[in-house]
């Protein structure tokens, strides 16, 4: 997991470098998906350290749940970008979720 997190972090650093090279670094920091990417990397690293330390506390359980949630968000984002029919499905789910939150 640490190797994958490291590679993913390097990908984010390269993306930030490309944005900075075109004088658009502020656009990188304003994009929510970049924050989700960086948060996911940090959560995976923290989870990996917890696994290496054999931590069995309630905090580790919560950390793993948060890590899984953020990884699921990234998976859905990836599938939305690559599969158009899935994109329509995800868009529908988002619209239902937003309308449900507005009603409550």
* 55-67 pLDDT tens trace: 788 888 888 889 9
Handedness of CA 40, 45, 51, 53 (dihedral sign): negative
Who contacts 5 (Cβ-Cβ below 8 Å, separation ≥6)?
41, 44, 45, 48
pTM: 0.68
Question: Model confidence over 21-65: pLDDT tens digits?
Answer: 998 888 889 988 889 889 999 999 998 888 888 878 888 888 888
Q: For residues 65-80, give the mean pLDDT.
A: 84
Q: What is the DSSP string of 31-90?
A: -HHHHHHHHHHHHHHHHHHHHHTT--SHHHHHHHHHHHHHHHHHHHHHHHHH-HHHHHHH
Q: Which pLDDT band holds residue 2 (cuts at 50, 70, 90)?
A: confident
């Amino acid at each position: 997991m640490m190797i994958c997190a490291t590679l993913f972090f390097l990908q984010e650093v390269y993306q930030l470098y490309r944005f900075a090279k075109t004088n658009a670094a502020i656009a990188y920091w304003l994009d929510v998906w970049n924050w989700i990417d960086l948060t996911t990397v940090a959560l995976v690293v923290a989870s990996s350290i917890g696994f290496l330390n054999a931590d069995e506390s309630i905090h580790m359980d919560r950390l793993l749940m948060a890590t899984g949630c953020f990884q699921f968000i990234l998976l859905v984002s990836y599938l939305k970008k690559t599969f158009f029919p899935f994109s329509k499905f995800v868009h529908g789910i988002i619209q239902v979720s937003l309308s449900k939150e507005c009603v409550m």
